[in-house]
Amino acid sequence: MSIFMTLRIALKALGRNKMRTALTMLGMIIGVAAVIAMVALGSGAQAQIEEQIKQSGTNLIMVMPGNFSSGGVRMGGGNAVTLKTEDATALRDVPGVQYVSATTQTRVQVVAGNQNWSTNVQGVDVDFPNIRLWTVKFGSWFGDQDVRGASKVIVLGSSVANTLFGEGVDPTGQIIRVKNQPFTVVGVMGPKGQSSTGQDQDDTAFAPYTTIMKKLSGNQNIGGISVSTASADDVLEATEKVKQVLRERHKIGPGMEDDFTARTLEDMAATRTEMTRTMTSLLASIAGVSLLVGGIGIMNIMLVSVTERTREIGLRLAIGARGRDVLLQFLVEAVVISMFGGGIGIGLGYGLSWAVRTFMEWPALVPLNSVFVAVGFAAIVGVFFGFYPARKAASLDPIEALRFE
Amino acid sequence: MAQQPVISVRNLTRNYQLGEVTVRALRGVSFDVQPGEFISITGPSGSGKSTFMHLIGCLDKPTSGEYFLDGKDVAKASKDELALVRNQKIGFVFQGFNLLKRTTALDNVELPLLYNPKSGLKAADRHKKAMEVLAAVKMSDRHHHLPNQLSGGQQQRVAIARALVTNPSILLADEPTGALDTRTSVEVMGIFQRLNKELGITVMVITHEMDIAEYGTRFVRFRDGKVVVDQAITKRRNAEDELAALPPPEVDPEPAGAHAGGH
C-alpha cells in the first residue's frame, strides 16, 4: 500500500473520532506552543541585551581597580592597587584609543528650592559624552577649564532634572545644592532609558571628576577609567595595550596578576547573555515536559484506538494486509496527530509571543530554528509514542482479532 | 476429474498448547477440493471445523501436514507470504460482516485491492472492479451507502463483493447466515449458489445448520478433529426457487434513513 493511501486512511480514521483527535492534538498544541513561546521570551531578552550593547557602543573598554578574576585575593602591598588620574592621562596616548575619561562616583542628596532627590553623581571627564554616545538636551557639557579648576558645575540626568525642576523645564543656570555646596546647572542630558538590568540610566548627574574628588568625596583615587576606541575593530587590540600600559605604570612584573580589570562592554554583556541563555534553556525544557506529556497522551489514545479497532485490524489482516501495513497505518495516525498538533502549536506559539510583545512590552522573538526544532520534536514524539501501539496492532493474531468482541 | 484441485491437504494436524495441556484440534485431515465445488462443512463446536477453516484460509499454520493451494505449497509459507495468499487467492465472508464503519460500500469493497502490493491499480480501475463485483451481488445502486444504512442481508452482500474483488480461487464463508433471519439467509445462500453456478466460483461454507448445508454440492462433517462424513448432496436445495415460494417480506427490509445519506 502506498504511503499516500496510508495517509488517506489515517486521515479518515482520525476524522471518525474528531473530538478525541482534537483533544489528543491539544496536548501537542500546548506543548509546542509552550516551547516556542518560552524560547521567544528568552531570545527576546537576549536580543535586547545585544541591542543595548550596540547602543552603548561596542568600542568601550572599562578599567576598574582591583582584579575581580583573582578570586578576591589581592596582591601584596607595595604594588599600586588603585587607579590614579595619571593612569587615565597615560591611556590617552595608547594607539587606537580615541577618548578617555576618568570616572568616580558618590551618592549625594541634591536640593533645588523645596525639592530634593538622592542620586548618584558621576565624576567624569570632558570626553565622557563622546564615549557613551550621549547627547546634551539643554545647555551644554562642561569644558576643560571646569575639570582643571574643579568648578562646581553639574549636568543633570533627565530624571533628576524632571524631579527637581519639573518635566520639560530648562534648568540651565540654576543653582542647586549638593552636600550643602552650591553647584551651577550647566546642562541636562537627553533621556537614555532603562539599562539591561532595569536601572534608570537617567537618574544620575555629572560633574568634573576633579570636583567630586576634591569637593564631595575627598577620594585621592579615581573609581575607574572609561576608554573608547575609534572603531569596534580596534577594541580587542586596544584592550591589550591598555593593560600593558597600566601594568608598566603599576610596576607589575611578568607572571604577576593585574591589580586592575580591563574589560570590553561586550565581555560584560556576554556574561549576562549567558545567564539569559541558561534561563531560556531552563524555560524551554520545562515547556518540553508538556510536549512529552502530549506524546504520552498520543500513546494513550492510540492504545485505546488499537483495542477498539481490533476487529478492523483482524479484517485488514484477513484480506491481505501485512503486519507492516497495519504498523504503518497506526504509526502514520500518531504522526499525523503530532504533526498537525505541532503545526497549530507553532501558530499558537507565534500568537502568544505576539501577545507578550504587544501587551507586556517584552521583546519576545521567535527564532526560526526553534520552529524547526519544535516540529522535528513533534514528529519524533509521534513516531516514538506511536510505535508501541502500532506494533501492538501489527502483531495481533488475525484469528483472535476477528473473534474480538 | 483431470483438473488440478483448488485445495489439496494431506494429513493436516494442528495442536494448541494451553498451559501444560496440548489440545489436538485437528488430527490428520486429508481433503481435496475441485474447482467449482460448493462444499458445506458442519460439525459440533470443538470438532475442529473452525481450525480447519483458519488453516484453509491461511490465517493459521498447520503443526504438520501438507497444504497445496492452487498447486502451491503454503504450509510453510512466511507470514508475509500468507498475507499475499489471503489477499489474492482467498475471499473471506464472516458471520458479523466486518465492514468498516462509516465507510461506503464501494470503499469497503475496494479495500483488498489497496493491499495488493503488485497490482498497482489506478483509482479509476479500482472503482470499476469494485462496481463490477457490487453488480454481481446486485448492490451497485447502493454503492454510496454506509454500512449502518444497509440491512443485514445487504451488508452481507457487500461483504461477499469485497471477498470477490480480487478474483480469489475460493470463497470461504464462516457462518455467513448466522446473524440473518430466514428469508435473508435464503437470499444470501442464493447469491452463493448463483456465483458458484454462473461464475464457477469455488465456495466453502461453514455452518452448524443442516438446512443451510443443503444448499451445497458436497457435505463434510467434522468430529473430534477428523472428517467423519464426506459425501455428495443428493437432494440439493435451490435458494432461488425457495425465495420465489416464500411470502413477500412483511416489512420493508430497508432500514429507515437509507436514503437520508449517501447521495
| pLDDT per residue as tens digits for the range A24-83 | 999 999 999 998 888 888 888 888 777 777 666 678 888 888 765 544 444 443 344 578
Yes or no: say if A31 and A290 are a contact pair by the CB < 8 Å rule: yes
Residues in a beta bridge with A228: A60, A99
Q: What is the pLDDT of residue A57?
A: 67
* pLDDT for the residue numbered B179: 86
Comparing CB atoms, the residue among B59, B79, B87 nearest residue A399 is B59
From the list A5, A315, A321, the residue facing B98 with the nearest CB is A315
Residues of A in contact with B83 (CB under 8 A): 317, 320-323
Q: Write out pLDDT tens, residues B132-146.
A: 999 999 999 999 999
Rg (CA), chain B: 19
Would you say how long chain B is, in residues? 263
List the single range of A114-118, A179-183, A256-260, A388-392 with lowest mean pLDDT.
A256-260
Top residue of A319, A324, A399, A402 to mutate, by most chain B CBs within 10 Å, is A319
Spatial CB neighbours of A380, under 8 Å, sequence gap ≥ 6: none
A137 SS3 class: strand
State which residue of chain B sits closest to A315, comparing Cα positions. B98
Nine-digit cell string for A383: 513516531
CB contact under 8 A, A321 and B102: no
Size of interface A-B (CB pairs under 8 A): 59
- pLDDT of A375 reads 83
Q: Where are the domains of chain A?
A: 3-52+270-403, 67-258
For chain A, the residues whose C-beta falls within 8 A of a C-beta of chain B are: 1, 5, 9, 12, 16, 311-312, 314-323, 325, 398-399, 402
Q: What is the pLDDT of residue A25?
A: 93
Beta bridge partners of A264: A61
A287-334: pLDDT as tens digits: 888 888 988 999 999 999 999 999 999 999 999 999 999 999 999 999
Q: Are B114 and A312 an interchain contact pair (Cβ–Cβ within 8 Å)? A: no
Residue A78 pLDDT:
35
For residues A271-296, give the mean pLDDT.
85
The three-point CA angle A284-A384-A339 to 5° equals 65
CB contact under 8 A, A318 and B111: no
**A290 to chain B, minimum CA–CA distance in Å?**
34
Residue B261's pLDDT is 42
pLDDT digits (tens, 9 = 90+) for B148-203: 999 999 999 999 999 999 999 899 999 999 889 999 999 999 999 999 999 899 99
What is the CATH code of the structural domain delimited by B35-50+87-245?
A: 3.40.50.300
Q: pLDDT (tens digit, 9 = 90+) per residue, A140-196?
A: 999 999 999 999 999 999 999 999 998 888 999 999 999 889 999 999 999 887 776
CA A241 to chain centre: 30
Q: Are the C-beta atoms of residues A100 and A186 closer than 8 Å to each other?
A: no
Residue A393's nearest CA partner among A295, A332, A300, A326 is A326
| Residue A76: predicted pLDDT | 41
Which amino acid, A303? L
Q: Is the CB of residue B7 less than 8 Å from the CB of residue B170?
A: yes
Q: Is the pLDDT of residue B99 over 60?
A: yes
Top residue of B100, B101, B113, B122 to mutate, by most chain A CBs within 10 Å, is B100
User: What DSSP element (H or E) covers A261?
Assistant: strand A260-264
